[in-house]
Structure 1
């Protein structure tokens, strides 16, 4: 039947997984499906309801590869990935001198015709005219990546109350007109505690929200200005920019960290073994009013809804409060709090 479970799935790298062995391991671990309420992490009703609906949507996907990938991301997010914070995201301010330096590099880059820009995996050079306008470009920050990681590290450690190791700083990524980014979670091995530090955007462009689900099942639209930092548990909380951007350019830098005691590969096989044996079968019972879900590798969209994401019908919209200072955060509860470590000993 499924002697070998697909070749070269994104989550499997170049490995092959024997389906019979996978099912045997599932039973050995005494897993059950659907998951028990106590398995959801965290055990908030909203988080459980959010992912129960997503699991129901995944059962109706007909393409086998897409369906398995949908299970991989959702099982990891809903059941296996630990959470480090109460809500999974927060807003704070970045270091002003670093932001000013990056903004200067950005403005210089987008105004110079000979600025080195590139797409991921593309050669250096001025290639802006060779790619469709909606694809993002990169403006070099000339070796500042480690400085970004180092200066933002204390913010991430204080927010997560966890000793962290920097994995990478990525950017400056420059989105262009009609760009969008479908909902997804990030690399589960290394992108655990992350941030988006917004550097700048076309002043004549339309506001462009980052959409993120919190750990209580609520969906938020976050509008960032220069120097604003969105902290988020990036391999835990689904996020993206499903609305298309109307403007010339929009640029941020992304940082990713993982806990110092983290084993980057410890969860990979656990996710495979948690997917139910009958994952490839279509459900006998049809859930009414369940929106279609399409999974492409690690990206999720709901084509039947506006902007291809149904939760956008009801969101909480956020901009940085004017009274929030550097060293403070705000999240789903709307309360401004100091960004401090709970225990120096733990870090």
Structure 2
């Protein structure tokens, strides 16, 4: 079945018809490269992107992705290359930003944290934990490590966590959210590392990592996140600390190896109530450059190699396999940070605006 677009009769009608095409292509799996390129040109895209195409439009964010797009152009494997464009184009050019920096550090509700900690410690003593594979957690001869454990917190506590933390994330992001899921408790073990990545663009938009506890004798293990000014940040979490982040916008991971017996957090993901996942995915396909599958004639030889495994990124030539680790901003919770406040990229502590819902916590 072939679907032919009608003559252009106005930008708004064109986009409405395009949305219908997107749904049909998704259902039937019939989007061809010619169709994709035609739509790229119909939308008046150009490559390299204009400075004003970046979201947000600032020099640090542009510089971060100008470099990454040049690296992606050098990737010889076409599947890996297309995946790299999908993640990076979505992050740099299409996904809106809801906050200034894309991340913040706050405190979780103490009662919830204590109940989660109790479940964690009980679970670590039992033999019922299940090993779990996650895409950004490599296990191979090159990356020997123990798989993370998964300790169930039960449906009641899971629901409670999603409801209570939703209020915090709505106050931080300024948008009404729909809960997608909560992962946890995930327990990382010795020599764990996670490659840099963004999360699922359809559902993991505004997210949180609530840190429940870790081996007191283990080494500090930072969450690494790129902010919306192009900085690479190392955030060190203690029990009860919560990282708020735009998880399908800002690349993040734990490229340093963990040295310790266990490290456990709860991961919670939400998306805006008006999030159109099908349109967003297809908009990303249509924004990839027409000549993406060609190797450049003048390669940027001074750039470090970027390797892509599914949706995970690494730079093998750099320490910790991520070149941004050479120059990071390090953050940890200030003793002045209280529940209902957050710390972000400018170092200022601000109060979350809960409005009427704040008292519910």
* TM-score scaled by length of structure 1: 0.90
Question: Which residue of structure 2 aligns with residue 125 of structure 1?
Answer: none
Q: Distance in 2 between matches of 1:14 and 1:103?
A: 46
User: Unpaired segments of 5 or more residues in structure 2?
Assistant: 1-25, 135-143
Alignment of 1:262-273 (within 5 A): 262-273=275-286
The 3-state SS of whatever aligns with 1:172 is: strand
Q: 1:109 aligns with which of 123, 145, 157?
A: 123
For 1:136 and 1:58, how far apart are their aligned partners in 2?
A: 30
1:265, CA displacement in angstroms?
Answer: 1.8
Q: Secondary structure of 1:267's match?
A: helix
Question: In the alignment, which residue of structure 1 is the partner of 2:7?
Answer: none
Q: How many residues align?
A: 322
Q: Deviations over 1:2-31 (max 9, x none)?
A: xxxxxxxxxx89935311111111111111
| Structure 2: distance between partners of 1:341 and 1:43 | 29
Q: Does 1:305 align with 2:325?
A: no
Matched, 1:135 2:147: yes
- Displacement of 1:337 in angstroms is 0.5
- 1:58 and 1:168 map into 2 onto residues whose CA distance is 31
Which position in structure 1 is the counterpart of 2:183? Answer: 170
| 2:36 counterpart of 1:33 | no
Contact 1:118–1:139 (Cα < 8 Å) also in 2: no
Alignment of 1:37-116 (within 5 A): 37-112=51-126, 114-116=127-129
Are the counterparts in 2 of residues 161 and 341 from structure 1 also a CA contact under 8 Å? no
Q: Does 2:261 align with 1:253? A: no
1:28-69 superposed Cα distances (whole Å, 9 cap, x missing partner):
111111001100000011000000000000000000000000
Distance 1:13 1:343 in 2: 42
Q: Return the TM-score normalized by structure 2.
A: 0.86
Alignment of 1:328 with 2:341, yes or no, is: yes
Q: Distance in 1 between matches of 2:267 and 2:40?
A: 36
- The answer to whether the Cα contact below 8 Å between 1:70 and 1:298 also exists between their aligned partners in 2 is yes
Are 1:161 and 1:342, in contact at CA under 8 Å, matched by a contact in 2? no
Distance in 2 (CA, whole Å) between partners of 1:102 and 1:343 is 26
Q: Does structure 1 conserve the Cα–Cα contact (< 8 Å) formed by 2:84 and 2:311?
A: yes
The verdict on how the C-alpha distance between 1:54 and 1:13 changes in structure 2, with shifts beyond 3 A counting, is: farther
Ranges of 4+ aligned residues in structure 1 off by more than 6 Å:
none
Structure with more of its chain in helix, by fraction: 2
Q: Look up the match of 2:8.
A: none
Q: Whole-Å Cα distance in 2 between the matches of residues 42 and 236 of structure 1?
A: 11
**Secondary structure at the residue paired with 1:30?**
coil
Cα 1:56–1:177 change in 2 (3 A) is same
Judged with a 3 Å threshold, the aligned counterparts in structure 2 of structure 1 residues 14 and 99 are, in CA distance, closer, same or farther, namely farther
